Amino acid sequence: MTELLIATIKIIVLFAWLMLFALYATLLERKESAVIQDRHGANRASIFGISSFGIFQPFADALKMLFKEDFIPAFTDKRMFKFAPVITFFFSVLVIIAIPFGEPIKIGGKIISLQLINPDIALILIFALSSMSIYGVILGGWSSKNKYAFLGTMRATAQVISYEVALIFSILSLILVYSNMKLYDIVLFQKAYLWGWLPRWGIFIQPLAFVVFIIAAIAETKRAPFDLPESESEIIGFFVEYSGVRFGVYMLTDFIETIMLSLLVTVLFLGGWHIPFIERAHLSANWVKALEIIAFQVKTFLVFGFLLLVRWTFPRFRFDQLMELGWKTLVPISIFNLIITSIVVALL
């Protein structure tokens, strides 16, 4: 009974955390893009005259989305049209179940792991789930029965499938090094040091895989510079026909995917909650645990900020350039990295 209660609380807290992060991610994106371009960004939304740099902006946006007319064109396939955003949302949220947020904590004699499930196949599960979310995009674009939506869908499908190859190859070389697919154990692996001074983080032992992973993963999340499925200036995207809440769900999913990506990068490449050399600081175990949980959040936030920086720095690729980068550059590099890694691992 208590197990069930703990699991329920964990799910609620995780979901609330995710939704809050996704809500404020929209504000963060607007603010960061504004600051990069020497502007102020959204700062007008106010409650009782208090605006405080636009803290209420996400709620204003959400309210606007809710009160907009949910228009469904007559020519669409209605059932699929309504169902499609839910699929993307569901599968992109589901990725969070396997992510560990810190060392297990002890409350009232009970050990609670800060992770919903810790399966042996966590990595495979995560990539299976996240590639499922493309079905929502396909269904949404196809059931719209609109030329532009269809174009966006085709682009999204081609792009995601071709970038998945490089993504999985870069992950494979990681799995070879970690010899494990449990995310918790992967973080434990990274908590050691190479030659006594370099943290054994993924970014240091697999730098090539890191570069390939981050490029391919940005392409997976369909954000600029790989936002061809949306490309607002040429085709409006696979969600042309969507409005109101359904469009909001698609937009939120975009941010949730980016959050998942930053969580994954933190866990796989940045040592999870590991703070280098904290064991030399003579802190009590509880303090270390608390600091590590904060460190995980900070790392995730920084990675998210970096992804936004990438999104607001580069212009969009042309479609042939995109395919060229995927198949002719990233896939060979990741295969080369895989071969080198397997040789090194076999020799050691």
Partner 1 sequence: MRGFLYFFETIKGLFITGKHLLVNTFYHTLNYIFRIKTKRKGAVTYQYPEEKKPLYPRDRTLHRMMFREDGKPRCVGCMLCVTACPSDCIYVKAEEVDGEKVATKFIVNVNRCAFCGYCVEACPEDAIRMDSGKLDFVGYSTNEMILDLLKTK
Q: How many residues bind partner 1 (CB under 8 A)?
A: 18
Strands 193-194 and 110-112: unpaired
Q: Which residues of 29-63 are buried (b: 16+ CB within 10 A; e: fewer)?
A: bbbbebeeeeeebbbebeeeeeeeebbbbbeebee
Select the residue interacting with partner 1 from 71, 314, 340, 345 (CB under 8 A): 314
Rounded (10°) CA dihedral 192, 287, 4, 16:
-100
Please tell me whether residue 310 binds partner 1 under the rule CB under 8 A. yes
- For residues 127 and 336, which CB has a smaller minimum distance to partner 1 in the complex? 336
Cα–Cα distance, 151 to 154 (Å, whole number): 5
Binding window for partner 1 (CB under 8 A); candidates: 94-102, 115-123, 291-299, 321-329: 321-329
**What is the closest distance, in whole angstroms, from the C-beta atom of residue 333 to partner 1 in the complex?**
9
Residue 78 in contact with partner 1, rule: CB under 8 A:
no
Looking at residue 53, the DSSP 8-state letter turns out to be G
Token pair recorded at residue 93: 């949220």
DSSP 317: P
Identify which of 131, 97, 276, 293 has the alpha carbon closest to the alpha carbon of residue 201: 276
Binding status of residue 329 toward partner 1 by CB under 8 A: yes
Which one among 3, 38, 69, 320 touches partner 1, defined by CB under 8 A? 38
- Residue 301 and residue 141 in contact, taking contact as beta carbons nearer than 8 Å: no
Q: How far is the CB of 131 from partner 1 (least distance, A)?
A: 25
Q: Report the residue from 8, 11, 15, 40 that binds partner 1 according to the rule CB under 8 A.
A: 40
Is residue 298 at the binding interface for partner 1, with CB under 8 A as the rule?
no
With CB under 8 A as the contact rule, which of the stretches 28-36, 156-164, 260-268, 282-290 interacts with partner 1?
A: 28-36
**Of 57-65, 263-271, 319-327, 336-344, which segment contacts partner 1 by CB under 8 A?**
319-327
Taking contact as CB under 8 A, which single stretch among the options 5-13, 71-79, 89-97, 318-326 is the one that binds partner 1? 318-326
Rounded least distance, CB 259 to partner 1, Å: 19
Smallest gap, in angstroms, from Cβ of residue 40 to partner 1? 5
Q: Which residues, numbered 41-60, are part of the site for partner 1 (CB under 8 A)?
A: 53
- Which region among 6-14, 76-84, 229-237, 307-315 touches partner 1 (by CB under 8 A)? 307-315
d(CA 212, CA 220): 12
Q: Which of 17, 148, 312, 327 binds partner 1 (CB under 8 A)?
A: 312
Q: Is 216 in the site for partner 1 (CB under 8 A)?
A: no
CA atoms of 233 and 304, how far apart (whole Å): 25
Range in contact with partner 1 (rule: CB under 8 A) among 58-66, 90-98, 171-179, 324-332: 324-332
Q: Which two tokens stand for residue 276?
A: 């280098």
Q: What is the DSSP string of 39-98?
A: ---S----BTTB-GGGTTHHHHHHHHHHHS-----TTS-HHHHHHHHHHHHHHHHHGGGG
Token pair 């992060």 in the structure block, residue:
21
> Can residue 37 be called a binding residue for partner 1 (CB under 8 A)?
yes
- Cβ contacts of residue 246 below 8 Å, gap of 6+? 70, 82, 85, 239
Name the residue nearer to partner 1 (CB basis): 24 or 89.
Answer: 24
Cα distances (angstroms) measured from residue 65 to each of 33, 45, 248, 251: 22, 15, 6, 11
Question: In terms of CB distance, is 39 or 78 closer to partner 1?
Answer: 39
Residues ≥6 apart with Cβ < 8 Å to 310: 218, 225
Q: Which residues bind partner 1 (CB under 8 A)?
A: 32, 34-40, 53, 309-310, 312-314, 321, 324-325, 329
